[in-house]
Structure 1
Amino acid sequence: MKKALFLFLSKMDFGGQERFASHLSEMLQNEYEVYFVLFDAETINYKIYGHVLDIKQGGLSKNPIKKTLEETKRWITLRKYFRKYKPIACISFGDGPNLLNLMAKMKGIIVIPSIRGFATAERIVSHRLDRVLYKRADKILCVSEGIKKKLNSDLPYLSDKLEVVYNAYDCDQIVCESREGEWESVNEDGGYRLVSVGTLRPEKGYWHLIKAVSILREKYPSIKLLIVGMDYADNGKKLMELVRLLHLEDNVCFEGWHQNPYVFLAMADVYVLSSVREGFPNALVEAMVCGKPVIADDCLTGPREILSPSKLEGEIEEITKADYGILTPRLDVQEDYTNNIFEEEVVLANAIDMVLSDDSISEEYSKRSLIRAKEFSYSACKDKIKSILENAGEAR
């Protein structure tokens, strides 16, 4: 009889950690009886290989008393599930599930929170309650070496608990799905196509990329940028207004969220990541799986580890032809939705132009993308997770 394994998230609607949890359930379904524990299971947009346990406590009240009662109900329900299903471990994703996982810890259950973004690492370091609770973890999964380095430096007492587990990708499946449809917004004028995938959060730095396109339009009038991702806190309105301000209505398209973003990746001439902060950018690797040359700024954290594993120290101060892609200097985190163009956007535009204008560079980095993408396979991730679970169990 297979042992139970909990994957604990707020929802399974949209996002990189939700997609990774889906992949993880697929990888581990033959070894474990996988259960998804969710605050709200009403909307599930990713495949689940296992069962769903709905805590039915999605959004929390703004009233302090009601909020405390709702959080207590979450804790009671999770403990009830622990006692009933007796999972070997509970791997959690996101601030809320991570903290509740740590607070609800029970004897005999391995508790493993995962840190998916640099902002979460900063929160743990700066909040006393977080620092105390994370001592209760048996292991802590970090999505990148950069995040591990941050926690190891600021909270050295956690060093023995930290494990880096990169996101995993089913390369064959991604390539297969990338051929399933046609890109409705394909540029009929024959212009170059840029693609960037991700929720319209400020940390994605899309205002930088839109301004870079305004520069490139002078040389490539028919250039097209497609941004694939759902809106976040109405940030899309700011980006759309910037597009109108720069008169880029014919050059920038917001495609919204898609179950299959790989179709867009397959049609791209270049994939561009303009994030000011990351954990481990899924779409960047997925573009590489599709054999696309990629450009990314050297943000915290992720792109450097993916594109330049041979040089992880120091800063990128100019456009750099890295091992597996083009890196540009880190972009400013300060949001700016005016028509002011800054030097960093000029540099980003120059990097894109370098790839578009030189077929040899584009072709070379397309080949390198395919080589690097194979290193983030399902098998490598599966072996790492199984090893962590086994070692954590033996250490108890």
Structure 2
Amino acid sequence: MKKKIMLIVPMLHQGGFERVCVATARLLDPFFDVYIVMFDSKDIAYNIKGLNVIDLHMGVKQELVGKLFNVLRRSFAVRRLKKKLEIDISYSFGPTANVVNVFSRRKEQVWSGIRSYMDMENKRKVSLLCRLSDKILCCSKMIEDELRSEYRCRKAMTLYNPLDVEEIRKKALAEQPRLPWEEDDYVIVSMGREDDVKGYWHLIKSFSLVKKEMSKARLMIIGDGNFEEYRNLAKKLGIADDVYFPGMKKNPFPYLNVGRIYVLSSHYEGFPNALLEAMTLGIPVISTDCMTGPREILKKKYKDNMKCSQENGKRRLEADYGILIANMNPEKNLEPEIEEEEVLLAEEIKRMMTDKGYYKRYKEAALARTKDFSNSAYVEILKQQIG
């Protein structure tokens, strides 16, 4: 008899752990009975055809009392489903789903997924998960190391996000993206939702410096949001016509594939899927040395060498598979002044754009690295853990 696996997720809107949830369901489906339980089906951005999906119709509440009541409602509903479906393992994605998962425990194994370093900021919640979970699946070694050292949590293990290399490349060629430019040889691309943690104001300011020396350079930021304040910043910098926000795309890969280089300007990440997706398409990458993920992706041994930072003077690192630069100021500044850290990023972009040997080196390195992340490796680890 197949074991029954429940995957719990708040929504299936565009996002990293939502994508991993759907991918996990598809990858495990041939071997187990898999159910996705979601709190609200509004704005589903992923293909769930053929999957067993249960919508609790319990959306977000804004006020504190409503939020607490929602946790209880969701927990009771999930507990009833666990009993009805005779679930063997429940695996949750994201902070709110993790809390519901541990509160709805019956006889099954409870696995909590920590998919972002920001999930570590609430120490009480992390301690709760360490106590009440049977396993904590981390998307990076750095998160696992911190759980083991700071919380003495021996339940933590690293499970990197799955990467469907062939599917990404196939989707990248599936359609022709609609761009506002005739020439697209020098497009800098980034991908992610509109969120302060992504540091997009730094990227836009750095691009304004690149544009002064490279007239054909363009910037495209793909993801959910209206980006109005960033559009205004581009106007202040005189580059409004050269910055494009195509919005959320169910298939973003044709747009991503236009990029000559990929830049990640985040202050925090879990395990940045978009960075690896760009590398899968042979796009060289420049990333902040933020917590967590980029260093593990771009270096063979992520603990080696001092972390890039302005304070220790190590502002950049030519890593094995891409360029790491010091993390930038997390305080949002939408005024057009340019800081030294933005000059540094602009210099890295210009070098990658213009030095053919350098570009070729990191294009080949990007392609080589993606072989280390595969669906088959992900499935094998999960099958071993499920037993």
Shorter-chain TM range is over 0.9
Q: Is the 8 A contact 2:4 2:88 kept in 1?
A: yes
Code of the aligned partner of 1:150 = E
For 1:229, the equivalent position in structure 2 comes to 223
295, 312, 328: which is aligned to 2:303? 312
CA change 1:326–1:133 in 2 (3 A) is: closer
TM-score (norm 1): 0.92
1:363 and 2:357 matched: no
Code of the aligned partner of 2:87 = P
Code of the aligned partner of 2:16 = G
Q: Counterparts of 1:266 and 1:282 in 2: how far apart (Å)?
A: 15
Q: Counterparts of 2:295 and 2:61 in 1: how far apart (Å)?
A: 37
For 1:394, the equivalent position in structure 2 comes to none
Code of the aligned partner of 2:366 = S
223, 244, 249: which is aligned to 1:258? 249
Q: Counterparts of 1:133 and 1:226 in 2: how far apart (Å)?
A: 38
1:298 and 2:289 matched: yes
For 2:311, the equivalent position in structure 1 comes to none
TM-score (norm 2): 0.94
CA change 1:86–1:246 in 2 (3 A) is: same
For 2:46, the equivalent position in structure 1 comes to 46
Q: Counterparts of 2:237 and 2:349 in 1: how far apart (Å)?
A: 19
Q: Counterparts of 2:378 and 2:362 in 1: how far apart (Å)?
A: 25
Q: Is the 8 A contact 2:60 2:67 kept in 1?
A: no
224, 227, 231: which is aligned to 1:240? 231
CA change 1:303–1:67 in 2 (3 A) is: closer
For 1:274, the equivalent position in structure 2 comes to 265
Q: Counterparts of 1:105 and 1:168 in 2: how far apart (Å)?
A: 27
Residue range with higher mean Cα deviation, 49-58 or 167-176:
49-58
Structure 2 gap ranges (5+)? 309-313
For 1:378, the equivalent position in structure 2 comes to 375
3-state secondary structure, aligned to 1:264: helix
TM superposition shift of 1:33: 1.2
For 2:134, the equivalent position in structure 1 comes to 138
346, 351, 363: which is aligned to 1:349? 346
Alignment of 1:1-396 (within 5 A): 1-48=1-48, 49-60=50-61, 62=63, 64=65, 66-107=66-107, 109-123=108-122, 125=123, 127=124, 130-156=126-152, 158=153, 160-185=154-179, 187-189=181-183, 192-231=186-225, 236-313=227-304, 314-316=306-308, 317-390=314-387
Q: Counterparts of 2:243 and 2:91 in 1: how far apart (Å)?
A: 39
3-state secondary structure, aligned to 2:376: helix
Code of the aligned partner of 1:88 = D
CA change 1:30–1:305 in 2 (3 A) is: same
1:302-339 C-alpha deviation (Å, 9 max, x unpaired): 10000012342421223322100111111121111111
TM superposition shift of 1:165: 0.5
TM superposition shift of 1:351: 0.6
CA change 1:29–1:278 in 2 (3 A) is: same
Structure 1 gap ranges (5+)? 391-396
Code of the aligned partner of 1:62 = E
Q: Is the 8 A contact 1:99 1:130 kept in 2?
A: no
CA change 1:148–1:133 in 2 (3 A) is: closer
CA change 1:329–1:53 in 2 (3 A) is: same
3-state secondary structure, aligned to 2:121: helix
Code of the aligned partner of 2:182 = E
Q: Counterparts of 2:212 and 2:221 in 1: how far apart (Å)?
A: 20
Code of the aligned partner of 1:377 = S
CA change 1:3–1:348 in 2 (3 A) is: same
Q: Is the 8 A contact 1:171 1:377 kept in 2?
A: yes
3-state secondary structure, aligned to 2:102: helix
Code of the aligned partner of 2:99 = L
Q: Counterparts of 1:94 and 1:53 in 2: how far apart (Å)?
A: 17
Matched positions, count:
380
Q: Counterparts of 1:217 and 1:69 in 2: how far apart (Å)?
A: 51
TM superposition shift of 1:134: 3.0
Code of the aligned partner of 1:378 = N
CA change 1:362–1:68 in 2 (3 A) is: closer
Q: Counterparts of 1:308 and 1:59 in 2: how far apart (Å)?
A: 39
Q: Is the 8 A contact 1:41 1:52 kept in 2?
A: no
Q: Is the 8 A contact 2:120 2:126 kept in 1?
A: no
Code of the aligned partner of 1:373 = T
Aligned Cα root-mean-square deviation (Å): 1.6
Q: Is the 8 A contact 2:223 2:248 kept in 1?
A: yes
CA change 1:194–1:4 in 2 (3 A) is: same
TM superposition shift of 1:288: 0.7
Q: Counterparts of 2:193 and 2:117 in 1: how far apart (Å)?
A: 16
